Amino acid sequence: MGTAMRRLALLFALPLFSAVFCFAENSVKLPLPKELQAANLPWFALDMKDGDGTYNGVINNDKLKEAIKQKNGKRVVFAFFATWCLPCRVGLKLLGEKNDELKKRGILVVLVNIGERDYFKTDKWVKEYAKEGWPLCFDKYNNLPESFGLTKQGVEMPLPATLVLDQNLRPLMFIGQEGDDYPQLLWDKL
């Protein structure tokens, strides 16, 4: 194997290697920004995949509260991701594997795709790495992280990231990097 081929193989192997070992420690909890320290979550609206499979739905605070009430939810998890993010694959797969436990504990998972506009590609990616049936939302202009204070204007949000809310949409915890305690810490006492 030539030097160029070895370098190319190493280039592709490093991200996979790091994705496998990124769960060596506990999750990194970040302080809630001042925008999320208020009594309620700031107003939001995101494009959403409808129950019939079309992409013309919208989810906002009121619709999310209604979904929580219908499912007897205790917490809401916004799992921010992008299809290009290797660690996002691992985190969403872990959530998918614990889907029964999440449901049993009253946790509603909302997948929030950041900055991508190809709904069908994203839907295919979610089917491969996560769990179908969770609300799939799109923040195609990357506005939500900024309005929630998770990033500054013009700065991309580091991914993956998880925002945990109570049933009244009050922010409880912001996770910047999942660790070996993920997703159990989503239902543990805070």
Flag residues of the chain having pLDDT under 70: 1-24, 50-56, 190
Q: Are 187 and 105 in contact (CB under 8 A)?
A: yes
- How many whole angstroms separate alpha carbon 125 and alpha carbon 82? 9
Q: Are 49 and 136 in contact (CB under 8 A)?
A: yes
If you search the block for the tokens 């009253």, which residue do you land on?
106
Q: What is the pLDDT of residue 19?
A: 43
- How many whole angstroms separate alpha carbon 137 and alpha carbon 64? 12
9-43: b or e for each residue (b if 16 or more CB lie within 10 Å)? Answer: eeeeeeeeeebeebbeeebebeebeeebeeeebee
If you search the block for the tokens 């660790």, which residue do you land on?
179
If you search the block for the tokens 């614990």, which residue do you land on?
98
Q: What is the pLDDT of residue 17?
A: 41
User: Residue 110 corresponds to which tokens in the numbers above?
Assistant: 């909302």
pTM greater than 0.75 (yes/no): yes
Q: Are 113 and 46 in contact (CB under 8 A)?
A: no
**pLDDT tens-digit profile of 59-105?**
899 999 998 998 889 999 999 999 999 999 999 999 999 999 999 99
Q: Are 114 and 133 in contact (CB under 8 A)?
A: no
Q: Are 61 and 43 in contact (CB under 8 A)?
A: yes
Q: What is the pLDDT of residue 157?
A: 87
Closest CA to 109 of 162, 149, 147: 162
- How many whole angstroms separate alpha carbon 134 and alpha carbon 81? 14
Q: What is the pLDDT of residue 3?
A: 54
Q: Where are the domains of the chain?
A: 26-186
Provide the β-strand partners of residue 78. Answer: 110, 163
- At the second CATH level, the architecture of 26-186 is 3-Layer(aba) Sandwich (3.40)
